[in-house]
Chains A and B, each alone.
Chain A
Amino acid sequence: MKSETAEKKYMPEMPKREIEELNSTVKSASAKIIADNIARMRKTDPNRPSGMQYFDEVSDFFGQRQKEIQEEKTKGKKVIGYFCVFAPVELILAADAIPVRVNSGWYDTSKLGDRIVPVEVCPVIRSTIGAKMIGLSPYLELSDAVITTLTCDGMTKLSEILSDAMPIWTMTPPRVKDSPQSLQLWKEEIKSIKTQIEKLTGNKITAKKLKEAIETMQKASKAFRRLQDLRKGNTVIMGRDAMLVNQTAMWDDIKRWTKKTEALCDELEKRIQQKLWACSPDTPRVIITGTPMFWPDNWKLPTLIEEATPQGVLVGDELCSSDRVLYDPVGIDEWTMDDMINGIAERYLMASTCPCFTSKDGNEDRINWLLNKVKEYKAQGVIYYVVRGCILYAMEYSRVKKALDKLNIPVYYLDTEYTREDVGQMKTRVEAFLEMLTARVDF
């Protein structure tokens, strides 16, 4: 832990009263937004599965789950936050620590982040900085250490800025995946994170514990995939609901989450037998790709899609905040420590479809992922969602469009900001796109 007196390189000195005021204002606004989002999701699907009840509760940032983590913390457990889906959750679990993802989705705090970094910077970064400034995000505040992966430029500097306030462990992913030296580098990174986790928690990560953690995560992946598979046919669960389930996996107790998700899937399967659809089977099926979206505020686009007239339904996405969170399992050949570390390293690096990677085939993993998703989920259109400042995703648009053009799938580039001001304008754009998709179905 850094002492309080250490010189701060980035973070401004803010008077305590201002921090408290801002915190309470944004917090109460955020609580309202969470309630509002859930109410809207209920309204869209009046027959909302009863299994969603649990996820609504967990999704409340300032509710039960926060208290739970606090209790665990007083019992001596450590909390380790992480930013990108590169962080080896299995290792955190194996060391008896609690993994939580701490990316921020608050619109309001991105304005605070403007005090440190220019507005051109990706709002996810600015918002996270803002959240740290006023101590808004409960999970970020509870974290004893945070793993950042230096994927994009924003993340790279974010880890520097945040290290003013808390211990930050950086991991450097290589920018090219398929060379042997890059895998070697990544394996070393995983190993060094492992030692750091062991040092912080004081628990040694043994082969037995790691195996247990990997199996826990595999079970979670199983439930996760089951839910995604259910979205392939006619819609039984609205995209936003599924997205919320996916997001809660990032901070919920993973074992409990698995159980609840399986229960939800059981319920949905019953509904499929009864042919009880969440919306008309003719509803245009849309997939989102691009910048990750985070609960609670950045729920703008999914809400717009599913509340628009004509209504659309989100059948899948290629977001590292939703469908990619638990999709890939760690596959182990032999349960030795070495092989498990290799398996974890490969799963997090090789299976990732982050646009920070490059290859002469044009980051084809992401393209393949998307094409497969479009085909399997019978999507009719793709919305390419980019927040201003998210350069890597924005730059890959042309490549994605070309690939999808071959399948005759329309792509719509939608750029926005962490703000509510453009909701009206976005609504028009989304509705026009959905209108076009409906027309394509008709003829």
Chain B
Amino acid sequence: MFEALAGTILAGIVAIGLALAGVLVILIWKKDRTRKLSYLRLFIQLVSLVGIFYSFTLALWLSVFFLVILGVTFFSGRFFCGWVCPFGFYMDLIALLRKKLGVRYRILPDRLNRALNKLRYVIAAVILAAPLFIGALTITPASQVQVLFLSGPFRPIAIMLSPLEPIVVPFTGAIANLGFIPWSLSYPYARDIMVYVNIPLVMEAIIYVFVALTLVGTFLFRRVWCRFCPTGISIAAANRFKNLKWMPLLHISKVEEKCTKCGICKRVCPVQVTEVYEQKGGDIKTSVCLNCMRCVEMCPYEGCLKMNVAGRTIFQSRNWLEPSNNE
């Protein structure tokens, strides 16, 4: 009874929040053209967060979800990361908070940043191997508090706090439960693992350390997790082959002649991609780029940076001081 009521209240809050966000987006769109894309992105992220949350309440296989993301990334680049990912949204919210506080973000040295990009292969390997070990562990029942906090009406908070779980640990729950209770395939959150494994304290500690680290890290560095998140590995792998150079279909391209090397694109990039700045025109296909289009939005030169989908431009940088009326 209480849970159902709390769930309704939360759903109501989410709905009102969405409506307010929509109004806000329209207002900002009209008033300040500079930031319209960023706020549109936040709005889409909010909508996808709600969408993902409700799709998880249905019996969705998260292992399938993860594989679909890796597959889609082949074609759309890391569009998911920039525009959909709940964890990305969470990091963007922290960045907003930081902006409100007027705290300056820190910049990782380029070399360290590039080294961190390599780390995602390790993480991918761990993610793929972990289920095999965890699956072997025994299962214990969960405490009432844990159930209430993690899978009850407060689940939105749980997703906010650790939204990466659906991606980081997709197989774990699935494999741990394979053949036992089929419906629990829909609950493969990391926290649920600690419900299943017999070392709950260790798992809990790991999760809280992770949450604390990402919280502090994101406050200091923009989109810190995205620099070693394994979603980009599919593109990185594809671009090694000559025949697959056309991947991803969604990517940024640059017109060298219009570029004055003012460095804005490099400065505004939340994951410190330098290729957009350094490359001399043409298609920019880096597996680190989130396709968040911040650089395209902030580039002050008409038509210098473009967002291309299969060769067609969907969005291009404009003279954001004013949209050019002439010509």
Contact = CB atoms under 8 A, between A and B. Distances in A.
Given A329-B300, A333-B298, A334-B104, A178 B261 contact: yes
Which size class do B's interface residues fall under?
Answer: 20 to 34
B267 interface: yes
Interface in A47-83: none
> Which of A331, A347, A350, A368 is packed against the most chain B CB atoms within 10 Å?
A331
Interface in A90-117: none
Given A331-B298, A331-B300, A353 B260 contact: yes
B182 interface: no
Contacts of B256: 368
A346 B263 contact: yes
A233 B327 contact: yes
B76 interface: no
Given A218-B321, A350-B261, A365-B260, A328 B300 contact: yes
Contacts of A350: 260-263
A335 B91 CA distance: 19
A225 B104 contact: no
A232 B327 contact: yes
B260 A351 contact: yes
A334 B105 contact: yes
B326 A229 contact: yes
Interface in A318-375: 328-329, 331, 333-339, 342-343, 346-347, 350-351, 353, 365, 368-369, 371-372, 375
B99 interface: yes
Contact of A342 (B257, B267, B294): B267
Interface string B75-99: 0000000000000000000000001
B105 A372 contact: no
Nearest to A369: B260
A346 B266 CA distance: 11
A346 B326 CA distance: 28
A334 B299 CA distance: 15
Contact of A331 (B259, B264, B326): B264
B199 interface: no
Contacts, number: 87
B258 interface: yes
Contacts of B102: 207, 336
Interface string A202-239: 00000100000000001101100110011011000000
A177 interface: yes
A292 to B, nearest CB: 18
A156 B177 CA distance: 76
B245 to A, nearest CB: 24
> Which of B104, B110, B261 is packed against the most chain A CB atoms within 10 Å?
B261
A61 to B, nearest CB: 29
A350 B260 CA distance: 7
A368 B262 contact: no
B139 to A, nearest CB: 47
A214 B327 CA distance: 28
Contacts of B259: 368
B301 to A, nearest CB: 9
A197 to B, nearest CB: 21
Contacts of B326: 226, 229-230, 232-233, 272
Contacts of A269: 325
Interface of A: 177-178, 180, 183, 207, 218-219, 221-222, 225-226, 229-230, 232-233, 269, 272, 328-329, 331, 333-339, 342-343, 346-347, 350-351, 353, 365, 368-369, 371-372, 375
21 contacts: A225-B319, A229-B319, A230-B326, A232-B326, A233-B327, A328-B300, A331-B262, A331-B264, A331-B267, A331-B299, A333-B267, A334-B104, A335-B99, A343-B267, A346-B267, A347-B262, A350-B260, A351-B260, A368-B256, A372-B257, A372-B258
Interface of B: 99, 102-105, 110, 256-264, 267-268, 294, 298-300, 319, 321-322, 324-327
Given A232-B326, A334-B104, A346-B263, 16 more contacts: A225-B319, A225-B321, A226-B326, A233-B326, A328-B262, A329-B321, A331-B264, A334-B105, A335-B99, A339-B267, A342-B267, A346-B267, A350-B262, A365-B261, A368-B259, A371-B257
